[in-house]
Amino acid sequence: FDQVQREKIYSESLVKSSPVAIVNIDDQDNIVAWNPGAAKLFGYTAEEAMGTNIDDLLVTEELREQAVGYNRQVQLDGRIQITTRRRRKDGSLVDVELHGVPLTADGRPAGAIAIYHDLTERVRAEEELRRQKQYSEGIVQYSPVAIVTVDFDAKVVGWNPAAEKLFGYSAEEAIGRDIDSMVA
């Protein structure tokens, strides 16, 4: 094998074995390459996806205008990196991070590469953290016991209603002040 053949084999192997969805589109936004990661993420086989307009296949009507704008942005500005939603074959939506990179041939626009990272687990974890934070804040807020939180410099960063009752300072008055100067 010469160097060009090796690079081609390496590139094809990389795309085929990538766990992320990699989709090549032509300058009319039609799919010309669809890796196994795309098949796994979106549920369409390569045969089903090939030749289809990427936005017709993956974009909901609500996001259509935005998606077309992203396609144009890649062609004009060179690349994008955004978080959005795309539609799977079964109609469900998936949160993705989309990287779009233009392709050129002989100095002319020839399409783009779209790389999709599935954010489902990250979104789920962020929602769980948000829920736990709300729960914890509720406990502090409605506790009958004074709860005061301070940072490493002994400055008040949290002051619940029971602390207001006990010490006589409102949260607005207490937050940012040295705890020892207030209650010692």
Residue 184 has a pLDDT of: 78
The CA distances from residue 136 to 88, 118, 129, 141, 143, in Å, are 36, 29, 10, 9, 11
Residue 106 has a pLDDT of: 83
How is residue 55 written in tokens?
Answer: 């936005």
Burial class (CB in 10 A: 0-12, 13-18, 19+), 81: exposed
Q: How confident is the model at residue 84 (pLDDT cuts 50, 70, 90)?
A: very high
Residue 11 has a pLDDT of: 82
pLDDT digits (tens, 9 = 90+) for 96-124: 999 999 888 887 878 889 999 999 888 88
Mean of pLDDT over the chain: 91
Least confident window among 13-22, 83-92, 143-152, 154-163? 13-22
The CA distances from residue 173 to 141, 149, 162, 163, 181, in Å, are 17, 14, 14, 12, 12
Please, are residues 101 and 94 in contact by the beta-carbon 8 Å criterion?
A: no
- The mean per-residue pLDDT over the stretch 147-158 comes to 96
Question: Which of the given ranges, 16-20, 68-72, 107-111, has the highest pLDDT on average?
Answer: 16-20
- The mean per-residue pLDDT over the stretch 9-26 comes to 88
Q: What is the pTM of this model?
A: 0.68
Q: Is the predicted pLDDT of residue 14 greater than 90, yes or no?
A: no
- The mean per-residue pLDDT over the stretch 158-171 comes to 95
